[in-house]
Amino acid sequence: MEMYTGAVIGGLLPSAPSLVGWIVVVVLASIMLRRGGGRAERFLLAGASLMLVQSLITTLTAALSTWLIVDWGMANVEAASVLGMFGLIRGLVGLAGIICLVYAFWVKFNKAKPARIEGVH
């Protein structure tokens, strides 16, 4: 059990700033949404939540690699294959989070003027 705790702590230390940052963004987006936020705030909350999940997946991957190699007795090549799938999932979750965040900022700060009809003043 000590081995897994060390692996989780080892994976948590480098990603702790991003975890704290995404938790703060999720809390602030929730507050903004409860105070009457619109579509932008909903997408901000969704994007920040997805990025938080991505950070958690990154942290838990270190413990997963230890568990696969030690407990299941997998070879490094097999464990790398399994971890590669987690990397793909992590990348897709992160991509979805970035898309939500970009859309939230685009909705919030897009100040496009409506098209003018010629001849009408």
Domain ranges within the chain, ordered by starting residue = 2-108
- Percent of the chain whose pLDDT exceeds 70: 86
Residue 1 has pLDDT above 70, yes or no: no
Residue 47 has pLDDT above 90, yes or no: yes
Q: What mean pLDDT, rounded, does the chain reach?
A: 85
Whether the CB-CB separation of 97 and 47 falls below 8 Å is answered with yes
Residue 21 has pLDDT above 90, yes or no: yes
- Arithmetic mean of pLDDT, 28-33: 94
Residue 114 has pLDDT above 70, yes or no: no
Q: Tell me the pLDDT band of 10, cut-offs 50, 70 and 90.
A: confident
- Arithmetic mean of pLDDT, 95-102: 97
pLDDT at 35: 93
- Arithmetic mean of pLDDT, 5-25: 82
